[in-house]
C-alpha cells in the first residue's frame, strides 16, 4: 500500500481519542444519572 505510516497512525490515534471521549462522556452521564 502507498499510504504513509504517519497517516494510518493518525487515523488510529484519532479513533482512540474519539473512543476515549465517548467512554468518558458515557461515564459522566452515568454519574449524573446516579446522583
* Residue 7: domain span: 1-35
Nearest to 16 by CA among 27, 5, 24, 4: 24
| Helix intervals (H) in the chain | 5-34
Domain count, the chain: 1
What span, in angstroms and rounded, lies between the C-alpha atoms of 30 and 24? 10
Tens digit of each residue's pLDDT (9 = 90 or more) over 24-34: 999 999 888 77
pTM exceeds 0.95, yes or no: no
Mean pLDDT of 6-19: 97
The whole-number average pLDDT for the span 6-21 is 97
Residue identified by cell 481519542 is: 17
Count of alpha carbons within 13 Å of 1, Cβ hemisphere only?
5
Amino acid at each position: 500500500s502507498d499510504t504513509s505510516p504517519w497517516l494510518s497512525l493518525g487515523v488510529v490515534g484519532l479513533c482512540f481519542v474519539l473512543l476515549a471521549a465517548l467512554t468518558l462522556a458515557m461515564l459522566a452521564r452515568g454519574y449524573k444519572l446516579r446522583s
